[in-house]
Structures are given as C-alpha cells and as structure tokens.
Amino acid sequence: MNKLTVNDLNVKDQRVLVRVDYNVPMEEKDGRMIINDATRIKETLPTLRLLIGKGAKIILAAHLGRPKGKREPTMSLRPVAGELSKMLGRRVAFVEDCIGGKVEKAVAALQAGDVLLLENVRYYKEEEANDPGFAAKLAAVADVYVNDAFGSAHRAHASTEGAPRLIAQRGGLCAAGLLMERELKYLGQELENPARPFVVILGGAKVSDKIKVIDRLLEKADTILIGGAMVYTFKLAQGFKIGKSLSEPDKVDLARAALEKAKARGVQFLLPVDDVIGTPVDTGKLNKKGKAVIEIQNPRTNTQANIPNDAAGLDIGPETSQRFAAIILQARTIMWNGPMGMFEDARFAAGTNAVAQAVAYATAKGAKSIIGGGDSVKALNQAGLGDKVTFMSTGGGASLEFLEGQVLPGVAALSNK
Ligand code: 3PG
Ligand code: MG
C-alpha cells in the first residue's frame, strides 16, 4: 500500500484524531441502549493499543446511525465509550459534543496514552455535507489524523475527508489504521493475483447492488456462484417464469450482459438449478410502519426451471447447495459477498449455511477466504463460523464500492508514503 500507516508515525504527546467506524447495531432494552455486536469496536483495538504504546493523545470520532443533524438520544455514542473501556481495560473519556469548547477542554486535559471518544459527528448535518467550517473545527484539536474506519471510507464526509485534507494542508500526517490496512490488503492486493481456482460467491437481493462487482470480478474469477433474490433477475434474462420472486425487471439487460461477458471470458457462471420456494400470503395485518405483513407459507423445494405463479424463490435448493459446496471445496481463493437466501428465517437458511460450511472447510484445507462484509458476515457468525475464515470485512457499502474498483474518499485523503 502506498499510504502511510500508524506504524510509520512518531506521535509521542501528539493529539491524534482517529476516525473509527463504531456504527454498531444497537437495541433498546429497559430504556437503555444495548450493543448487539461489538465486532467493529473490537477490530480497532490493535490500532488503539499501538497508539497508546506510542504515547499519543487519542481523540476518537465516529458516527452512529443516521440522525440527520438532530441530537437523537438513541444514537448517542456514550454506550460505546463504556464498551470500549471494558475491552481496552482502561478509562475512555466521553464528551457530549464533537466540536467546540467542551471538546477543546477535554482534549487539553489528555495525557500521553489517554483515550477520548467524541459524541456522534452526525448530530451535525455539516458532517455529511462535508462542510469546510465544520471540518476545520474537527481538525482544530488534532496534530495528526488516523483513519481506521474502513466501513465509512466510501463517504466523503467532514470526519473522513474534509478534516484529513485540512490537517494535511497544514503539514500534519494522515495515516491508515491497522484495520484499514488489513481491509485494503484482503479486499485489494489479495484479490489482484489470487491463487486458482478463484471462486466468487455473490448473493443478496439486487442485481443493481452487485452488477459492478460482478463485472469487475468477471475479469479475475474462474467461477462465479450466484444466489439470493438477484438470481430471479438473471432467470428473467434467460426467459424463465419467476412467480412472485423479488426481481428487478429493469435490470434484465444488465443481467444478460453479465451472462454474455462470462461466456466470452470463459468464466463458469452458475445460477441455482433448484430453489426453496414459499407462498407469500397477506395476513391483513399492518406492521409498526403501516406496511402489510406478508407471511410465507408452505416452504418447499422446486426442481423446475420455472417458479409457480403463486410462489416466490427464497433460498437455493439442496441440489444447488451440494454443487456449490463441491466447487467451493476445490477453491484456493474464495470471495463471498451476500447470502444465498432469506437466512434470517430458519426455513430459508439452509443454502446460506451450506455455503458458510463449505467456505469454512475449504479454509481449513488451506484456501484463503475473504468475506465482503454486511449480511454474509452476519450469516457466518449466526452459523458459528466467524473465526473459520481468513478475513471478514467490517465494511458493507464500503467493501462493495472498493471491490467495484472505486477510489474511496477516506483512503484518498490519507498521506502517501
Ligand atoms: C455502515 O454501517 O455501512 C457504515 O458505518 C456507513 O454508514 P452509512 O451507510 O450510514 O453512511
Ligand atoms: Mg450502510
């Protein structure tokens, strides 16, 4: 990587503004916000420990949720300060703002090795607008900048892009954290010249979300396995009937172009040969948001190419699971992004679990497996296999944009070596 990393920094007694992605899933319990998954916090510990060891004064900036410029109490980062303190085994100070007098005071009190977490930067709408005045206030308390928030690096916001640009302009160094470095290594360099066979597994609901990734990986992969509801847009492109399955009829041309590109390049591009389908039934009830509650009834395997008119495809079928698993077991490099079906519902989780198992086995046999964030990470953890793969990204949208080959603004803003 041609970017400076925290390893290159000499930051004794320096004020280091560290952007982290602490946008963790939370839930209200007895009037308190509870963290459901602290992975993103845990993954920043190596960077923080390194900076503490170097004697830096650490100022952490992060966002939580999308409060759109309002002080939404359920989106406060205060509970994160408590969790981080437990994990680090040392005090983490918290300040109820991210700019201004209170922050300046808290920063002035920091000693070498101290850690301070700022309140949600998105309590100001200027954050997402990348407002230069706001960025200047964030930058004002720091000598050096570190970005360890890979999951937010696709956003050109004040804390990810504006502030480092200003710090660099005045001669301050801007470096990648260790998590950022690992993410760029596994999702970047490792996939440039993969050991073969290189098998790519792509799932999820929409072709439109994944088409650019498909297009790019068609240049590298030996085999691409497709699951999830996006299968049905490909099936439309092939002229099959898809019943009530989710699809994007306006993306059929893109799907067809991908199929043709795969053929032209000699990439094995596999769609499911069977599915688990169900019958969506309107319960007549409305959910909290006023939307009709649809229940899926009569889950069953469909071995026909067409889906019956009253049914929707919700998972890859058992025959497909076996075929996919066999291919995954032969792979030496695996990239997986997106579940094979509606895995949150146990009736439609078998396909995703089969893929998760196969990826874990292949890894145990020596393959390198890279999981591109979001729901596939959730599925692996749900199957208890999170520690059985080579690398799991902490990014969702960021991993996708990076895999598409886009330059991430949060990375571009960092100093070159
Ligand atoms: C994420 O969870 O995807 C990142 O933290 C970015 O959040 P955002 O999609 O609200 O910008
Ligand atoms: Mg997102």
**Predicted local distance difference test score (pLDDT) of residue 399:** 94
Ligand 1 centroid distance, CA of 409 (Å): 14
Which atom of ligand 1 is least distant from the CA of 128?
11
Residue nearest to atom 6 of ligand 1 (CA): 152
Please, where are the H alpha helices in 293-335?
Answer: 318-330
Which ligand ends up closest to the CA of 373?
1
pLDDT at 120: 98
Q: Which atom of ligand 1 has the smallest separation from the CA of 374?
A: 3
| Residues in contact with 344: Cβ distance below 8 Å, sequence separation at least 6, in sequence order | none
For 250-256, what is the mean pLDDT? Answer: 96
Residues contacting ligand 1 via CB (< 6 Å) = 21, 23, 66, 151-152, 155, 396-397
- pLDDT of 366 over the 90 cut: yes
* Residue 396: active-site member: no
Residues of the chain with pLDDT > 70, as a percent, come to 100
Q: Which ligand is nearest to the CA of 63?
A: 1
Contact yes or no for 162/181 (Cβ under 8 A)? no
* Whole-number average pLDDT of the chain: 96
pLDDT at position 375 is: 87
Structure confidence by residue, pLDDT tens digits, 67-91: 999 999 999 999 999 999 999 999 9
Confidence band of 1 (pLDDT split at 50, 70, 90) = confident
Q: What percent of the chain is predicted at pLDDT more than 90?
A: 94
Of these residues, 3, 19, 40, 210, which one is catalytic?
Answer: 40
Q: At 364, is the pLDDT very low, low, confident or very high (cuts 50, 70, 90)?
A: very high
pLDDT band at residue 373 under the 50/70/90 scheme? confident
- Please work out, in degrees rounded to the nearest 5, the angle formed at the alpha carbon of residue 387 by the alpha carbons of 382 and 389: 100
With 90 as the cut, is the pLDDT of residue 216 above it? Answer: yes
d(CA 242, CA 240): 6
Q: Which of 155, 180, 408 to mutate to test the pocket of ligand 1 (most atoms within 8 A of CB)?
A: 155
What is d(CA 399, CA 391) in angstroms, rounded to the nearest whole number?
12
How many Cβ atoms are within 10 Å of 85's Cβ, its own excluded? Answer: 16
DSSP helix/strand/coil, 391: strand
Residue 378 β-bridge partners:
none
Active-site annotation holds for 395: no
* pLDDT tens digits, 24-38: 999 999 989 999 989
410 a catalytic residue: no
Q: Which ligand is nearest to the CA of 128?
A: 1
User: Pick from 95, 91, 124: which is nearest to 107 by CA?
Assistant: 95
**pLDDT tens-digit series, residues 131-175:** 999 999 999 999 999 999 999 999 999 999 999 999 999 999 999
- Residues flanking ion ligand 2, Cβ below 5 Å: 396-397
Active site residue 90: no
* Cα separation, 412 vs 404, whole angstroms: 16
Q: What is the pLDDT of residue 237?
A: 96
- Give the separation between CA 277 and CA 308, rounded to whole angstroms: 9
